[in-house]
Amino acid sequence: MNIRQINFPDTQFIREEFPKTQIYLHHTAGGPNADIVFHGWATTRDRIATCVVISGDGPYDGEIVQGFSSKFWAYHLGVKNSHFSRFGLPFINLDRISIGIEICNWGQLTERKGRFFNYLNKEIPPTQVYELRTPHRGFKYYHNYTDAQIASTKELLLLWKERYNIPLTYNSDIWDVTPRALRGEKGVFTHNSVRPDKVDVYPHHKLIEMLQTL
């Protein structure tokens, strides 16, 4: 597995080590270039980032870019006390016990007269549009995850299973908020698993098939 390391400011993540019990899948809601994602994070003061980003459509499709070690952490979930109290659970800092994977992807799309637009009103080619049989959090159309991105995600999951002993058993509840995630239970989750206002990642059939084979 090839992982390209880039220079990412130490000020943008927390150089503290905690036992890792969870992996969260995200998409960026942005363009295909992982370097641009890290550059955007580097310009903020919030220490919001994931340790790896997977590039999308283009010459670097599926390339894994790493800004800092998976043993450290940054804020990537945005979970508040209210998300826990809804289920009668105490707050846990899930960011520091989890690893995030960001997939470069525009996310949800809106269809207008046979044309598809992202939330910035940028048109997405029909060849990059994925249609769900059942809408996910109100949206039927999404920007497609590429085969190379899904393959790279699989490689990372297998790597971290070996390194941190994180189980990769697929559970179908990960596409919505689940108390399992909020309790810090070991496993693979999505951003949907802890936030009712998120749509990443969406239930792409190839992504589900990959997760089921781990």
The residue ranges of every structural domain in the chain are 3-105+145-212
**Domain 3-105+145-212, CATH among 3.40.50.10380, 3.40.50.2300, 1.10.260.40, 3.40.80.10:** 3.40.80.10
- For residue 19, what are its two tokens? 């036992």
3-class DSSP assignment, residue 154: helix
Other C-beta atoms lying within 10 Å of the C-beta of residue 107: 19
- pLDDT tens for the chain, residues 1 to 214: 899 999 999 999 999 999 999 999 999 999 999 999 999 999 998 999 999 999 999 899 999 999 999 999 999 999 999 999 999 999 999 999 999 999 999 999 999 999 999 999 999 999 999 999 999 999 999 999 999 999 999 999 999 999 999 999 999 999 999 999 999 999 999 999 999 999 999 999 999 999 999 9
User: What length is written for the chain?
Assistant: 214
Cα separation, 103 vs 156, in Å, equals 12
Distance CA 25, CA 42 (A): 21
Amino acid at 105: N
Distance CA 64, CA 157 (A): 12
pTM score above 0.95: yes
